[in-house]
Structures are given as C-alpha cells and as structure tokens.
Chains A and B, each alone.
Chain A
Amino acid sequence: MVQDFAQPILNGILLGGLYAVVGIGMAMIFGIMRITNLAHGDLMVLASYLSLVIISGLGINPFVTLVIAIPVMFFVGLIVQSALINRVLKKGNEPPLLVTFGLSIIIQNALLLIFTPDAKMLMNSLSTKSIFLTNYLSVPVIYLVDFIIAVALILVFNQFYQKTYLGRAIRAASDDEGAAELVGINTRRIYGIAMGIAMVTAAIAGVLVGMTFTFYPFTGTQYLIIAFGVIVIGGLNSLLGVLVGGVILGLAQLIGAEFVGTGYQLLVGYIILLLVLVVRPQGIFAKN
C-alpha cells in the first residue's frame, strides 16, 4: 500500500514544481495589473515551438535554446503589453480579457498552420532516465530537473522583487498606479517590462514542458487551466504560495490517478481547486 503511493506522491511533488513555473508568470501579471492573461498558456507553448525550431536548426540541447528563447520571449511580452494591452488598460476589466483571448486564438491557429496538429516533443536524454531509490521507487530525472529549476526560479524572483530597483518599482506600481506615477515611475513602461519578465518565465516553462511532455498547437489551454489552479490554490501574495499551489495540484492529480485511474487525474485536480475556492477563495496563503 505504502509502496503504491510513494511513487505518485514523489512524482506529484516534483511535477508541482513544473506547474509552479507554468503559473508564476500569470500570477505575476495578475498581481501587478489585475489582468488575467488568457494567452499565457499559448505564449508558453509558443516558446516550446520556438525551442523546437532552434533545435532543428542548430541541433543543440533544449536547455541551450533558452539562450535565444528567453530574450525573444521577453520582447514578445514587451510588445504584447505595449502594443496591445496598455491600450485597453484604462477601459475596465473586460477589454484586456478580450485582447488576451483574441491573442490566444491567433497563436493557437498560427501554430496549427505552421506546425500541423502533430504532437511534438523537445528530444533530450534526460526524459527517459530515472534514478532508482528502491526496487519500487524511482525518480524521473526530468521531473527532478523541473523541480530544481522551479525552486531556483522562485528564489531568484523573490530576490529580484525585494532587492532590485526594478522589482521595487513593479511592487510600487502594483500597489498604487497613480501614486507610482507621481514619484516618477513610468507605469506603462514598467508594465511592459513586467510582461517581458512574465514571458521569460513562460519561455522557461515552455522548454521544460516540451522536454517533459508532448505538446500540440492547442496544448496552451490545458496549461492555462493549470496556471489558474496554481494561482487559485496558492494565492497571489507570495511566490512560495505559487510553489505550494503547484505541488498541491500535482499531488492531487497523481494521487487521484492512482485512486480513480489516469483518465480522471485532471478531474481530481479541479475538484481540489473547487474545494479551495469554496473554503478559502482568497487562496491558502493569502493574509486576509
């Protein structure tokens, strides 16, 4: 019995790290601008395809493609924010939502047109390796790598927010946009940079997801919902919350799969999500 559950618990925790990376950029944008970026999952998959193109062109390791994918996605974020979302920011909640929804549809169909609906994966040597702890328990290496990168990313982000001037300006702008303007912070530019940084996390998530699972042009929606889950469970106030949110969702899915079958693992994850919404709609780690 214990042996039956040790593996899904281990995998669930490690997978949670990947989910946290998927959700962190979206949590950040919601926290700063109160905007739900419905294209976050698709932008992440865009990064997966970008990495795929670089690999087929240069024949390099998926991790190395980040050297190109990170700056490219930063500029994609900057442009999406400055050219599209900044224009509708002052017009209420719905216009930004519609803009990102439209962007999501455009990205999905553009990917479909260019890459066909075939499943792709970022081939690498890690995805098939496992470290055997006992005869019954093994650690999938790629899951472990995902988790380590997730923790590192969250630590780096925490330092960035607390210690750098840009991090402080982002916090100031998210606290009170008007007051931030009056101390000389160009909030529109800060929002552009913030979206760029969110897309850097999407680039990292996209490469990790592409190395861990297969992806299609429409996979983005699935990860958007995972990002939602991570944010709702973890709350928006702490980066640690994002990690714990990811782990809870990962655990719920994999333990659920053990109980009711893999076909229902997503369902179990979302039942947990609904429970959190009913009991603590502000998120488990929210202060108020």
Chain B
Amino acid sequence: MENVLIVENLTIAFGQLLAVNSLSIEVREGEILGIIGPNGSGKTTLLNGISGLYKPKSGSVIFKDIDITDFSPSRRCRLGIGRTYQVPRTFEKMTVYENVLVGGVYGASLSEKKARYKVYEILELTGLLHKKDLFAGSLALLDRKRLEVARALATNPQLLLLDEVAAGLTEAEVNEVLRIVKYIKESGVTIIWIEHILRTMMEAADRVLCIASGKKLICGNPKEVLAAEEVQEVYLGVEEG
C-alpha cells in the first residue's frame, strides 16, 4: 500500500517544551491509524502539525508526495486533509446545513449544485438531515460531533483527522460514531483517529500508534500495541521521568 502521509522527524515546540519530539509516522492509503497516549502526550499537537494550525520547529509533513510543511491550513484542506476538533468548533451562528455547505464550497471547491447534493448526502449519512435548519449552537454534544464530522467530510478529504470524536458520548452513541467512521473508511478515506476509548481502537483501527511525551512509543497491530508492556506502563501512570 502507498503512503498517503509521511511525517518526518516532526518537532513542535511551545517555548522550551517539545510537545512533539522528532516524531515520524507513515500513514498508508485506506487505513485507520489509531493514536493513543496519556493526556498531554502530544496527540492533538501532532494533528495540529498535520492540519497546519501549528508551524513545526523542524521536520516535514509530506502529503501525497507534496511537501506541505509551509502550507496554510486552508490550503492543506483544499489539498484533501479534513479535520475535526476534540471540543467541537462548529460555526454556532450558522445552520447545520450552512456549516456543511461552506465545507463543500470552500474545502472541496464544488459548484453550488454539486455542493448542495453532497451536503444532503452527508447530512443523511451523519443522521443530521432532519436538523439541517437548526443553528449549530443549539445542538447537543453528539450532534455537534456529528456536525464536525459532516463538515470535514464535505471538504472531500482523502485524509481525515478525527480528534476524540467518541469522547464524552454514551455507549450507544459510541456505536453510532463507529458506524459512521467505518462507513467513511469504506468510501476510501484514510483516517487518523485519536481516541481514549480503547474499544473503538480495537474495533476500527488497522494500526495503533502510542505516543508518550511527544515521542513514538510503539506502533503496530491494535491488539499487540494495547497489550504491550510499555503501553500498559504509560496508561497506568508509571511513566519514567
């Protein structure tokens, strides 16, 4: 399989703190790469480095053989990198429909007619169709997370970055998220998925990467990674240092 994304020796620093410390990963086309790690280990910072919200101190990000390290977030989005946030950042004063529409028009550069068609398709998939005229600010958590995914999908991503989409949801809601994520994968989208709920990683991820203190701890088959001694250690909080 071909690599869609290659992150090479990426270092992102906040002052003296190296939030991501010379990290390298390769993401294969069509896979779900799960990312786990304790709080503050640099998972979200890594996603910010890939989506372009943070500029790295050193290292490079290569997407579909293009070096995008110096590209703005909007340009990366138009190239095919979609993103959701841990805490939903939907456009509160716009309707659900409009939220998804701007993604289609600006992220995927679709014409008006095509964008509308696609928006309805995505709203159907994410179960938001009957709420399309509500303001995003009025939605409950699950629906706002759905909307985040819907908006990211509208940008027509080849690589979708999901940041804890299942966090804070009930068991049944987590199953709903799993259904949607699996469907997105089936449609050919490569996914990087940060999640603390390990069940989702076991069920959906093809490979799991564990990060601790901004460094790669281990990467591989979900079962092996979750069973690995070093992973157990960081999750039990007996991290060295």
Contact = CB atoms under 8 A, between A and B. Distances in A.
A171 B91 contact: yes
Contacts of A7: none
A179 B77 contact: no
B92 interface: yes
Contacts of A171: 91, 93-94, 98
A183 B89 contact: no
B112 A182 contact: no
Contact of B92 (A175, A180, A182): A175
Given A171-B93, A172-B91, A183 B75 contact: no
Contact of A181 (B73, B99, B109): B73
Q: Could you say which interface size class chain A belongs to?
A: 10 to 19
B1 to A, nearest CB: 26
Interface residues of B, number: 33
B120 to A, nearest CB: 17
Contacts of B105: 165, 168-169
A188 B75 CA distance: 12
Contacts of A179: 85, 89-91
Interface string A170-197: 0110011011111111111000000000
Helix, strand, loop or mixed for chain B's interface?
Answer: helix
A172 B77 contact: no
Contacts of B83: 182
B93 A183 contact: no
A176 B77 contact: no
Interface string B78-113: 100011010001111110001101110111110010
B213 to A, nearest CB: 25
Contacts of B192: none
Contacts of B94: 168, 171-172, 175
B84 to A, nearest CB: 9
Contacts of B152: 182-183
B74 interface: yes
B155 interface: yes
Contacts of A185: 74, 102, 106-107
A188 B108 CA distance: 18
Contacts of A184: 74, 77-78, 103, 106-109, 155
A180 B94 CA distance: 12
Interface of A: 165, 168-169, 171-172, 175-176, 178-188
27 contacts: A165-B101, A165-B102, A165-B105, A168-B94, A168-B98, A169-B105, A172-B91, A175-B91, A175-B92, A178-B89, A179-B85, A179-B91, A180-B74, A181-B72, A181-B73, A182-B73, A182-B82, A182-B83, A183-B151, A184-B74, A184-B106, A184-B109, A185-B74, A185-B106, A186-B72, A187-B74, A188-B72
Given A175-B93, A185-B102, 16 more contacts: A165-B101, A168-B94, A171-B93, A172-B99, A175-B91, A179-B89, A179-B91, A181-B53, A181-B77, A182-B83, A183-B151, A185-B74, A185-B106, A185-B107, A187-B74, A188-B72
